[in-house]
Structure 1
Amino acid sequence: MPWASTVREALVLGRGTRLLAAAAAVVACVVLIGPNGSGDDHFTRPLPADAVEDVVPNRVMTWNICNPCEESNVDRAAEIAAYAPQVIGLQEACVRDVENIRDHLELLYGLDYHVRYGSVLRNWGRCGGTPWSPGAYGQAVLSAAPMTDRVVVEYPDGGSEDRGYMAVTTLVGGRPVRVFNTHLAERRQESVRAGQVRVLAAEIARYDRAVVLGDFNAVPDAPELSRIWAWATDTDPACRPARLGTCTTTTDWHSKFDYIFLRGITPLRHRVSPSPHSDHHLVQADLAPL
């Protein structure tokens, strides 16, 4: 049923009042606009027939949601809800967009996520706001379980744009795991990424069990990723640095840039799902019991 896009604006209020305001707005739209009212978004998006009905406790996902892009947070939420992972790492994420995505997941699909941010810059062009108070931009992690011990690290050299990583401790499959989420420097900045990987890999090595999510902007056999491969493996069982041709691509330009690396954890299933709402695909993995 179509709804006016103003429904979504109610979702940016405080946590307690946000959902109440959104529900009231829905009723108001039905009364004032009617079931055929115009709007650039449907209030809800139907999920595929094989969509899960609740959070999958051993499932993790990474997704570069594309920014700046003229995409609906309702659509983004629907894509996440179809797979309902325990943990989601988002890149190119504005705080305001992530707040809306989280609220849509709860209101429309009954999926309740905690969220932590790893913003590394404030950017008006990407995230709106005002020139003197632009929106925060970077990474975010959503988890169905609470998160603790958040750290946000900006890389000493971000390349053409500030970049960094965030890390939190949360539950995956019922056990605590250190989860990292990063976005490395853009393509053709190999030396910058090599420096960033040195910082990230040294931190990953401190943990016996870790999940590393992100857009690494590098193909599997890129030399700058060698330090990551030394400490972790990709959840794609056919993808290793020496077997580039068998890696499932994760972008619209047919390159593998998005990874779920595991340290001390065994993957069960790996899946890549192209998205009409981003130039990066959704990458997810189900993990063996820890």
Structure 2
Amino acid sequence: MVLGRATRLLAGAMTLACLVLIGPSTPSGAHFAASPPVEPVRDVVPNRVMTWNICNPCGDENNVGRAAEIATYAPQVIGMQEACVRDVERIRDYLEQLHGLVYHVEYGSVLRNRSRCGGWPWSPGGFGQAILSAAPMTDRVSVEYPDGGSENRGYMAVTTLVGGRPVRVFNTHLAQRQQEEIRAGQVGVLAKAVARHDRAIVLGDFNAMPDAPELTRMWARAKDADPQCRPSPAGTGVCEPTTDWQLKFDYVFLRNIDSRDQGVHPSPYSDHHPVHADVDLT
């Protein structure tokens, strides 16, 4: 018997409610991991990508709410920063069980830190980047920058489908504010990797405004998905803020790819806003 969409979503919600009441059997919530794979009951937007620093630590890590934010825009690919493996696992599970969206996941953890991500003292949680994609991903690389600044930082990259075409997708988180020289070195490493590909999408929290000197090499390789946003020391560029403190730190950089639409969406679940872009790879 083939269940209808509404029935399957209701069944998934009831299953999740039971799990919330009795708790997961393992720290990572292996109930979902052990479940047989299911077909998605809702389609993603095939040419849509998203970047989001989900914020850690931010007090109450509301992964149900985070999943709902992502499901609102249903991107083909999501790049997350400040991502604990356990949080990403739960977000992925909620996307499937509550919203009918099925994603593959790859991690680019650069730090194992119990205070950040929990876990046992001998097995702390992984912290860094993650990419969720509705299509399988191949050729994953995870690179830690030689100098992370005040905390380990790096980038990851995968090859996956966006708009039905294979493309290299990068996801990064640069050094914290007031560390311009360190970010400049990190951008040099990242831009060199991006330049090896004819087409690429670079997602991430760059912790720098568009006209910051350390981003010069990135702008030489790619453009922002928002056509109005560009480096402009004279202040003529119009870039929508992506953080609660009204600064643009989060980017969807496109290399030899056009943008159809771009949006910034303030969220109660992070001090950074999800940023989505609809791209054209034709």
Same fold, TM exceeding 0.5? yes
Structure 1 residue 9: Cα displacement: 2.9
Deviations 1:192-221 (A, max 9, x none): 000000000000000010000000000000
Confirm or deny that 1:61 pairs with 2:16. Answer: no
Aligned length: 258
Counterpart in 2 of 1:139? 129
**CA 1:16–1:194 in 2, change beyond 3 Å: closer, same or farther?**
closer
Counterpart in 2 of 1:198? 188
Any conservation in 2 of the 1:19–1:107 contact (CA below 8 Å)? no
Deviations 1:199-256 (A, max 9, x none): 0000000001000000000000000000000000000111100146510000000000
Confirm or deny that 1:254 pairs with 2:243. Answer: no
User: How far apart, in 2, do the equivalents of 1:148 and 1:212 lie?
Assistant: 16
216-225 vs 68-77, which moves further: 68-77
**CA 1:151–1:244 in 2, change beyond 3 Å: closer, same or farther?**
farther
- The runs of 5 or more residues in structure 1 that have no matched partner are 21-52
Residue of structure 2 aligned with 1:277, choices 254, 265, 269: 269
- The runs of 5 or more residues in structure 2 that have no matched partner are 1-12
User: How far apart, in 2, do the equivalents of 1:161 and 1:276 lie?
Assistant: 25
User: How far apart, in 1, do the equivalents of 2:68 and 2:107 lie?
Assistant: 21
Structure 1 residue 103: Cα displacement: 0.7
User: How far apart, in 2, do the equivalents of 1:155 and 1:6 lie?
Assistant: 42
TM-score (norm 2): 0.87
TM-score (norm 1): 0.85
User: How far apart, in 2, do the equivalents of 1:165 and 1:272 lie?
Assistant: 22
Confirm or deny that 1:287 pairs with 2:269. Answer: no
Counterpart in 2 of 1:9? 24
User: How far apart, in 2, do the equivalents of 1:73 and 1:232 lie?
Assistant: 32
Confirm or deny that 1:210 pairs with 2:233. Answer: no
Residue of structure 2 aligned with 1:160, choices 150, 156, 160: 150
Any conservation in 1 of the 2:129–2:156 contact (CA below 8 Å)? yes
User: How far apart, in 1, do the equivalents of 2:87 and 2:48 lie?
Assistant: 23
Any conservation in 1 of the 2:258–2:280 contact (CA below 8 Å)? yes
Deviations 1:100-132 (A, max 9, x none): 110110111110100000000101111001222
83-92 vs 70-79, which moves further: 70-79
- Secondary structure of 2:92's aligned partner: helix
Any conservation in 2 of the 1:90–1:140 contact (CA below 8 Å)? yes
Counterpart in 1 of 2:177? 187
